[in-house]
Amino acid sequence: MTSYRPTFGPRNKKTTLKIALEEAIATHVFNATNTLPPVNGTAELPYVDTAYVADVKDRLTNVEARIQAMDAAGVDLAVLSLTMPGIEGIFDTPVAVETARKVNDEIHEIYTSGKYASRFRAFGCVAMQDPTKAAAEAERCVNELGFIGILINGFSNIGDANTIQYLDEPQCDPFWAKIAELNVPVYIHPRIPSPSQMRIYKGYEFLGGSPWGFGVETATHAIRLMVSGLFDRYPSLTVILGHCGEGLPFSLNRIDHRFRHFQPQHKQCKLSLTEYWKNNFVITTAGVMSDTTFFDTLKSCGEDRLLWSVDYPYEDYDEIAEWFDNLELSENTRAKIGWENARRILKLN
Amino acid sequence: MTSYRPTFGPRNKKTTLKIALEEAIATHVFNATNTLPPVNGTAELPYVDTAYVADVKDRLTNVEARIQAMDAAGVDLAVLSLTMPGIEGIFDTPVAVETARKVNDEIHEIYTSGKYASRFRAFGCVAMQDPTKAAAEAERCVNELGFIGILINGFSNIGDANTIQYLDEPQCDPFWAKIAELNVPVYIHPRIPSPSQMRIYKGYEFLGGSPWGFGVETATHAIRLMVSGLFDRYPSLTVILGHCGEGLPFSLNRIDHRFRHFQPQHKQCKLSLTEYWKNNFVITTAGVMSDTTFFDTLKSCGEDRLLWSVDYPYEDYDEIAEWFDNLELSENTRAKIGWENARRILKLN
Amino acid sequence: MTSYRPTFGPRNKKTTLKIALEEAIATHVFNATNTLPPVNGTAELPYVDTAYVADVKDRLTNVEARIQAMDAAGVDLAVLSLTMPGIEGIFDTPVAVETARKVNDEIHEIYTSGKYASRFRAFGCVAMQDPTKAAAEAERCVNELGFIGILINGFSNIGDANTIQYLDEPQCDPFWAKIAELNVPVYIHPRIPSPSQMRIYKGYEFLGGSPWGFGVETATHAIRLMVSGLFDRYPSLTVILGHCGEGLPFSLNRIDHRFRHFQPQHKQCKLSLTEYWKNNFVITTAGVMSDTTFFDTLKSCGEDRLLWSVDYPYEDYDEIAEWFDNLELSENTRAKIGWENARRILKLN
Amino acid sequence: MTSYRPTFGPRNKKTTLKIALEEAIATHVFNATNTLPPVNGTAELPYVDTAYVADVKDRLTNVEARIQAMDAAGVDLAVLSLTMPGIEGIFDTPVAVETARKVNDEIHEIYTSGKYASRFRAFGCVAMQDPTKAAAEAERCVNELGFIGILINGFSNIGDANTIQYLDEPQCDPFWAKIAELNVPVYIHPRIPSPSQMRIYKGYEFLGGSPWGFGVETATHAIRLMVSGLFDRYPSLTVILGHCGEGLPFSLNRIDHRFRHFQPQHKQCKLSLTEYWKNNFVITTAGVMSDTTFFDTLKSCGEDRLLWSVDYPYEDYDEIAEWFDNLELSENTRAKIGWENARRILKLN
């Protein structure tokens, strides 16, 4: 294309203030992927593309490469978190508790108080295997380490791979009470389902570990939180979901509609799911690069509760930044989704 | 509103040629809901609204009420099918085979050759517990009874509630071979997951029986068909999904994107899921009344492969017809989705 | 529809806090429609529907009927303005100046300080035929009468029907200087083009007086303001356009794109039109009831700069309120567009 | 971006069968831009970017460069037409008639029967200054030269710059009668308004020659055709509009709504504008690269009546092809808009 030819108004704009908040790291004190279900006998990212896996593994700990990728894509700040399954996949509760503390300390040392402290914030990890200790660690993360919230990789194992605990279960209440007191958001990140959950895919276990299985598992978890009445008990809670809401914007109206007739055993909530969606959920675009999916999600949560994200290093900063910078949007809206909402919701200064 | 006040151009138009194709009936020879998982000890629709349940049960067999509802909503033709879980939920294979035949005969007698034959067509039911016999019954449905295709309520039980068979499993091949030969569509309708599948919802089993669980189960079934290579073996197959594609339009791009890296055990297909979506799937709006969901689905499958439907008597003809008649659409497109596509795809004369 | 049948989540919600801000009145001191171009010899609304015209004329002054209509539609507050062409159509400058003052006093007496003062606010009218006096009247409206801004019916006549003045012309600067100082918005309302403008429709003059001609005239006026450099001189100005931006959201990108090559005689502005759109324009939905048009406009200006309105009594409160209350939107967004944005932008207490 | 990183499913697909149909040429026998209103004393494209003007002028006649650009962008076939204002701007009727014939012969010689005949089709030009002779030339174009339709650059001058004739005027009937008989489409292309029309922009004449003025002029022309009753007399006529319908999809509903009350002098048509839109108009995307504008237009005319185009050499093939190839669309729909509709509507073999 000869150089004097223009591109259209909204194209190729690079916004340089972007904030991303589903950005994974690995730590030296703990290899989070060791808690993955074994693939061919060893705990491994279930990928076939070895060049991709090697690149991802390097980027999970390579700070310089991360800063370089952020700079190239106009990303000012990344909110980091331990990659899945992480703490939630540790069977031994005391080990989980101890590991969470060590991981948070390393994140603080290397990232949020390190050479590039101005470029990073963090979601702490906690051991939901012991909700009271999780509450204490959450408090330490926020008050001592200056983390801006907590990220949890879905259900937690207790004792073995198939004994799992969801965040709406009664024993988790001390954790939520502390979160409400600390007034910080909790990001619920997908994790690979347990072997017994995988088995329901009957011969297609890889679907469980695919974005399809991830989304189903995480959306179901979010619905559990809504119907459990958690948000009636703690109306101020903010839960963050990635991947444009894990498919819920497509289905929420219909679920509410049918719930008017269905026998909702254990359904204890006072409001419609749409009401909780409006009041208690904030959505990120992590891993999404579909205009249609983006605009549905925008319509369902409004421009004050949608935040751009990437899911680096599983996704590319440059690819997803270019998509977002060129989306046909009011620049006022782009600024909100790109960084203003994150500054407000995460109380970034 | 004073009467001389106008409404806007596209509003309150009533199209009188509409065709609906996810329309449930019950039969006298077989109570399809008897194969539901027991609720409080008895096989029952899992609804709390008793007036609604009574009304639905009546409408499942009340031909006059059905015609009346169709007339009021401008529905010219309904393509009927046995309500779920139906034949697929019968544990005993010979009983399933025998029941399918009886049910098809009753549908033919009462509906497609009865007093209102000009208002009805039918999807036949088959016993996938014996794929060869299912193929034979499919042939009888099409060639002897004049049915326009086959509808299957998801997986089939074999022997007990937790032994389930999906349509991509090798033993189902004789059925698909016959379907390809007959050149008729197969509608995959949701069914309530098995007790063991329900258990993965851990205390929220009702989610499995909600539109959420239905959609997840059915979308997963559709993905299984794609990745199994079925459509490489039989490229001419047409599979119909209801509920605007069970959430797949929201997630398909991302799944294809991630499949480039994932280790797809048992993934044997040659094309991307998007390619199979484009070539082998036809979508209905059954049970949907969301503009956003409708337009996403339209964007993902194009106006020649999207068909209006209702899911009567679980949904209302008048409510969903009014929604569709007032959708902001080209009238050319409304005609295709309302009836022209159905006439072409189902070869209606 | 039997009563126990539900409607879908977002349907039939009635929001009772709505604010409307393109709501026309007539006054006793001045018949604004007397300045219409004569139709068959007499100044008349160019309508064929006599029942509609009689109804509109009554409603233009009938306060009780207005309150009743607002109540029925869940409209809490209406921001009133003199119906077009109004002051802008008066050929004699001193008469225009004097009439504007009298009209504003009557609006204040009957509406904003009358029996229903809590239900009304007002945009003042001014005589742009004398921009300095217009500035003075604007100041009186805001500081003495408590009006929340100024509404101008497009171009102003000076001396005769075909001598017209646009708001970007140099002599209008004292008015804009005062508006910037008062820090209130200016609503640019359509008016019927002049006879010489009408003639360009050559035999189809009615197109000039149709929403098509109205939109073209008003959008052109808005582009004039942008390219004149007005918003470079007064960056804080807020101009309000009705009818979802008079078609500009559909065309703005392309105009900006082509302006890179066009020879823009008299084009003196520093930024792209998209930048002025983002910074200096606020849009209302007055007169619109199209989902597509609404969502485009939302995408182009963002949810903080789009405001619901009706254009009563030319349109119905109930019809347009029902459309808006049922639009598939986040409730957070509906609240902003329905009333929160108006409260913020118009500084309503 | 490291090379093994994937892009998302729908991105970077290059469709190689595309057909474009608002593609401008200049001829040696007649310099179409000589009929432009003079800029600074000489007839000139009103552009400031001299490199762009030089490039455009070269490309208007450079066949090799055109083929190269088509190949690079995956464009199989271009339907050519004489650039505006062309024949319509010639004041002298006999000269106009003679020039049209010479131009059509040159187009046939160089393009549709030349070295690259397989890559080109053409819309003929006619002299509407003499509708009977225009009809005869249209017949010659179709039956002798094998052109696929006629393109007209808006109104025609008769005698001078300000005496203009629209296509709905009674004297044009012989032309339309012949078009109906030939059963070919007529493309109405924008042209720069006349000096007297420009004057209504009062000091901003450049707006008349901008895409804004072009769109307004052409959309008004289209509305004239609808309200004149032309399509009641010739229901089979197909009129093609470029630029996504010149803004009409944004406004059509509202115009129909208001027409119920407006006094439509000279309005003689039987149906609503929406009905004519549905039956008699086909739309191209020429010059558009906005997703929002594209999808609105698709919603308003349906996927069988929307055709991709570029407006080369004023726009780039590669830029607009890349936009279209990456639009988030069903591949079935992309094929229709990209080439299938053109093959059907233009009867291309």
Q: Report which of B113, B174, B183, B171 is spatially closest to residue B146, judged by C-alpha positions.
A: B113
CA atoms of A54 and A127, how far apart (whole Å):
28
CB–CB of C206 and D262 under 8 A?
yes
Q: Report which of D249, D339, D253 is spatially closest to residue D290, judged by C-alpha positions.
A: D249
CB–CB of A250 and B250 under 8 A?
yes
CA atoms of A320 and A309, how far apart (whole Å):
8
Q: How confident is the model at residue A77 (pLDDT cuts 50, 70, 90)?
A: very high
CB–CB of D260 and B301 under 8 A?
no
CA atoms of D190 and B99, how far apart (whole Å):
67
For D222-244, write each residue's pLDDT tens digit. Answer: 999 999 999 999 999 999 999 99
Is residue D237 within 8 Å of residue D261, measured between CB atoms? no
Is residue D301 within 8 Å of residue D245, measured between CB atoms? yes
Helix (H) or strand (E) holding A293: helix A291-301
DSSP string, A169-232: SGGGHHHHHHHHHHT--EEE---PPPHHHHHTTTT-HHHHTSHHHHHHHHHHHHHHHHHTTHHH
CA angle B202, B208, B212 (to 5 degrees): 120
User: What's the sign of the alpha-carbon dihedral C336, C341, C342, C343?
Assistant: positive
In the DSSP assignment, the letter for residue B115 is: T
User: Chain D interface residues facing chain B, Cβ-Cβ under 8 Å?
Assistant: 6, 8-10, 252-254, 256-257, 260-261, 272, 274-275, 278, 295, 299-305, 328-333, 336
Long-range contacts, stretch C179-184, CB < 8 angstroms, 24+ apart = C179/C135, C179/C138, C179/C150, C179/C234, C179/C237, C180/C234, C180/C236, C180/C237, C182/C138, C182/C139, C182/C142, C182/C143, C183/C236, C184/C138, C184/C142, C184/C148, C184/C149, C184/C150, C184/C238
User: Chain C interface residues facing chain A, Cβ-Cβ under 8 Å?
Assistant: 6, 8-10, 252-254, 256-257, 260-261, 272, 274-275, 278, 295, 299-305, 328-333, 336
Hey, what are A233's tokens? 């008990």
Residue of A nearest to B221 (CA): A201
Hey, what are D242's tokens? 């470029």
Q: Which residues of A touch B264 (CB under 8 A)?
A: 48, 206, 210
CA distance A145 to chain D (A): 34
Task: Report which residue type is found at B93.
Answer: T
Cβ-Cβ contacts under 8 Å for D198 (sequence gap 6 or more): D37, D192, D205, D208, D209, D213
CA distance B256 to chain C (A): 28
Residue A9 has pLDDT above 60, yes or no: no
Task: Report which residue type is found at C256.
Answer: D
Residue of A nearest to B288 (CA): A254
Of the ranges A231-235, C318-322, D35-39, the best mean pLDDT one: A231-235
Task: Report which residue type is found at D336.
Answer: K
Q: Which of B210, B259, B294, B299 should one mutate to test binding to chain A, selecting the residue with the greatest count of A CBs within 10 A?
A: B210
CB–CB of D290 and A7 under 8 A?
no
Q: Which residues of A touch B53 (CB under 8 A)?
A: 261
Q: Which residues of B touch A260 (CB under 8 A)?
A: 49
CA distance D276 to chain B (A): 11
Please tell me the number of Cα atoms within 13 Å of B349 on its side-chain side. 2
CB–CB of C278 and A330 under 8 A?
yes
Q: Which of C271, C280, C330, C334 should one mutate to test binding to chain A, selecting the residue with the greatest count of A CBs within 10 A?
A: C330
Choose among A8, A274, A305: nearest Cβ to C9. A274
- ipTM over 0.95? The verdict is no
Helix (H) or strand (E) holding B211: helix B211-227
For A26-67, write each residue's pLDDT tens digit. Answer: 999 998 877 776 555 556 666 667 888 889 999 999 999 999
Cβ-Cβ contacts under 8 Å for D98 (sequence gap 6 or more): none
Q: Which residues of C touch A331 (CB under 8 A)?
A: 274-275, 278
With residues binned 3-state (H G I as helix, E B as strand, rest as coil), the percentages for chain B, rounded to 5, are 50, 15, 35
Catalytic residue annotation of C? 311
CA distance B195 to chain A (A): 11
Mean pLDDT, chain B, rounded, equals 90
Q: Would residue D49 show up in a list of annotated catalytic residues for this protein?
A: no
CB–CB of A331 and C257 under 8 A?
no
For C136-190, write each residue's pLDDT tens digit. Answer: 999 999 999 999 999 999 999 999 988 999 999 999 999 999 999 999 999 999 9
CA distance C225 to chain D (A): 11
Hey, what are D190's tokens? 């924008």
Q: Which of D311, D316, D318, D325 is catalytic?
A: D311
Q: How confident is the model at residue D197 (pLDDT cuts 50, 70, 90)?
A: confident
CA atoms of C162 and C194, how far apart (whole Å):
6
Q: What is the pLDDT of residue B234?
A: 98
* A17 SS3 class: coil
CB–CB of C290 and B328 under 8 A?
yes
Residue C11 has pLDDT above 60, yes or no: no
Is residue C74 within 8 Å of residue C321, measured between CB atoms? yes
CA angle B202, B207, B210 (to 5 degrees): 160
CA distance B300 to chain D (A): 5
Interval A87-92 mean pLDDT = 95
For B103-127, write each residue's pLDDT tens digit. Answer: 999 999 999 999 999 999 999 999 9
Q: A touches which chains (3+ CB pairs under 8 A)?
A: B, C, D
Q: What is the pLDDT of residue D80?
A: 98
CA angle A171, A176, A181 (to 5 degrees): 140
Residue of D nearest to B276 (CA): D331
Q: Which of B256, B311, B316, B325 is catalytic?
A: B311
